[in-house]
Structure 1
């Protein structure tokens, strides 16, 4: 497939185009975007399928479970005891905030058409206007639109929640909430539209089955930019900052693994063979990555750690996400092994060499794992699993990765610096020293 060339001016103009998000358009038809994981839309009026609907209701609940309690426990166990409640509170608050923003304008901007459809949707379905018990989205023609809306909402929830792991233990709660709202609006919604909602990346042939680009690269790059702008934790490199409770993190990682079946297999938006392929690929890649990270750490550090094996599992989950519905299990196995080793190197050795304080390795796991998985989708895509795989191209995948990195980095930095100038990003040194649980939330873990 021939790639559309975008000038450097065009790339830099994406942020400006997105600034017009809240400009109302006229009434727009539902998008018929070439989303990789979407079931074929029926030529006539679609017929709702109870089996597909039941699976998507289940998948939606599984993906929500990934954030609360999964990610909350995974992140909460890895911080110091004095900050665990601040992290768990942030995950819960993000779930609530994004749910309301999705109602007001999020779904509409991501999944409807507009006069700037290459870059962003319109506001025809703000507050879910026009959605009834009889409507469907053309990307999921056999389930009620209500279910598709809620399924996509859970993706919008977990993506910004992933970011906060990069700068936990040293950001004000008020600044965090402003960041989440602005980042969802000006980064997540445009990128989701580009890939899944009829935008220019989808039409260029970029394949992203369940969010390697939209979720993980997006979150990983934002996390890296954010942790650099917020700055290092007080005492970083000199004070012990070991996880306070790896049992919580193991439980959280396990909930993430189970929930990821809804994330990946659910992205088939149907109860069919493609969902089954995505499920087995998810299991194989995750297990392979967990073992690869464990053995790499065992060789280098001489001991296999619980933190290592659960981190490897998450790296595998991340890397298989864009490929889950395009590759066969052998491809998934190879992706998993590579993800475990590469993400271990990035999270432990590259981070140490470069000196940035990505607290919970958001970039090393989600950024690097998402980039690796997106590019390897172009290598291992199998048309026997998904006919769209016949057009897979490493060059096209790299194009999608590059555009996302550039846009996300620029806009995230702008948002961070605006918040820093207006209300500040960090608590006082005394508050940080005492811990955010008691100083910002008035609570402690007993």
Structure 2
């Protein structure tokens, strides 16, 4: 089928085609308090203004719930559930559709267009959700193997449990920030000489700062303490996806991670993209993930359901000198476990979920060097350098570096479903005096 066409002028290469309709939180010069919007082309449709001026008059099902478009986060909208998300998204598509059924709502309503259609460059973006909790998984098989080889050798690269369950750890929700927020280099304990017989750490600014290319998934349906979520029902608990960069301090991590895993090496900052791409928008790109040669237990068995997504992911690095280099390209298919499986495993012991909880996929890497989702893999643990434009090189990130992650589904002009970008610039560590 040919792509849908909007009456609004949209660049054919825009991530925010009429096929997408991602939701986010904006503030504007006219409305300084954060509130919901959707992205369409190079505009945001301000849903607070749209609602106040009767934009949803033709959608009766949302009438009792219109207050959600005046909230400061998407949590209240997310809590309405996937059937409502689906109806609202399809209605907004129909309002924006060329020769659609509701031309008088916006297309012929010049006054509403002037007030509700805001250029994206005039919008300030905010965290789309109040993130109640955050769990980071480790579902990228290639990444897990490559890092395992660095620390334990190829024979013991993967732990015996790896293919049986989605390995994860509890992250820190308080330091999740929206794209564009600077990332301050962390201080922490590191070993200057890990091979020394006597292990004597120092307190220092991180010297091996890294990225982790991931996807994040938000929960929209809560569960009760003691009540597992079945893998069959898990998709109804999922709101949408964002790009995620789980910044990592590799030298701090190497010293602290035994025996309980990452702590200060991860909790200083996690960046996410501003627009939540709903699960329904991603459904046309549903596919299988990496093949698992281990039979999982029945509570994780999706029975062939396609729960991964063909998302083309890229990473660029811009140095303080202004040189921009593409340093990674991979796909969302490079995950061993899906988000429904992660949710089913996370809750199997009775852990309750809240609306706004976020799950990270873990670093997504392919098999080749160009497909690796972090510098730790690309540099073989800091042994080699990544060549950048302008003759610069990197083993790990330097102050002033800006990392940009993009992700998009589909290759047909005018029908792209993308995430925009997830951007962070590294700022110097604070100077500590004791």
Q: TM-score, normalised by structure 1?
A: 0.29
Greater fraction of residues in strand: 2
Q: TM-score, normalised by structure 2?
A: 0.30
Greater fraction of residues in helix: 1
